[in-house]
Amino acid sequence: MKKFLNDPVNFVDEMLEGIYKAHPAVTYTANDLRCLVSARTKPGKVGIATGGGSGHLPTFLGFVGEGMLDGAAVGGVFQSPSAEQMYQVTKHIDQGAGVLYIYGNYTGDIINFDMAAELADLDGIVVKQVVGNDDVASSVVGEEHKRRGVAGIFFIYKTAGAAAAEGLPLDEVARLADKARLHTRTMGVALSSCVVPEIGHATFSIGEDEMEIGMGIHGEPGISRKTLAPADAVVDEMMERIFAETDYKSGDNVAVLVNGLGGTPLEELYILFRRVAQLLEARGVTVKHVWIGEFATSMEMAGASISILHLDDELDRLVAAPANTPFFQHIAG
């Protein structure tokens, strides 16, 4: 293991200390570094909270800021934050209009977020939840509730954050967030493993000439492992599964996110996007919004994911809205 760290036990907290020193727009509450919140509040606005394990930066905490999220509970590397941490974040960000939880479909997160919501209810804070499940590789059609939440959660954050910034009530913000969830599909591919600092070795093995289609962001098994193919062929296979689930018609509009998993150069992500755009254009589908870069990583794993959000006028407006967070800036227009 070659990493820039001190004691692996302190990896997450020292990372957070660096973030707070670099980005004064975020701070923490309850005297707990892992209860990250926005330093700015807006009375009467719906609060939006997320949370999850570290190792996926900028997901989850990197999207706390104007036009997106208000707080994030931070777990250890690939570990859920506690219910108490989520509860403390909830209390801090509630501005009288209720709080929306948005997080990925993982058992530990679900249990702890549910417990936090129960604690918040005792304080009179209304909480609603939207659970991201965009990973088409992790379960079949008809059992979408079993699917993992991966990079496509970015679109849910963006939609809900813009809706809350408009001053919409909690029920409406939750409806729009869930609409983004229902319209988002993601497929990923991994080329290498990653190393959790406290473990000190690769979480799985994969051959130098191999790739795994559909692998999860914690190293969960994918749907097939095969010899690494040219980029266009890899994208074709990934997009085939996304196309199989969404009836794209000529004249439809989409937003595209090509996400690096931590160890893939930006140049390669643009090569992947080139093919994604070609496939969509061949179907008469217009790509209205594009984001390419690292949005949901898996430490230093080499690989990428493709997320497609099928737009309507409502989603288009919200995705296009401005946002300003430590790890993501978007200027409307």
Annotated catalytic residue within 56, 92, 183, 289: 56
Alpha-carbon span 298 to 332, nearest angstrom = 29
Contact at 8 Å (CB) between 262 and 20? no
**β-strands 127-132, 71-77: how paired?**
unpaired
The active-site residue, picked from 92, 218, 289, 310, is: 218
Contact assessment for residue 288 and residue 327, using Cβ atoms and an 8 Å cutoff: no
At a CB cut-off of 8 Å and minimum separation 6, what does 260 contact? 266, 269, 293, 294, 297, 303, 304
Q: How far apart are CA 291 and CA 42, in angstroms?
A: 28
Task: Indicate the DSSP class of residue 80.
Answer: P
- Is residue 218 among the annotated active site residues? yes
Residue 14: which H helix or E strand, with range? helix 11-22
Contacts (Cβ under 8 Å, ≥6 apart) of 56: 217, 296, 297, 298
Considering only CA atoms, which of 291, 294, 143 is closest in space to residue 217?
294
Active site residues: 56, 218
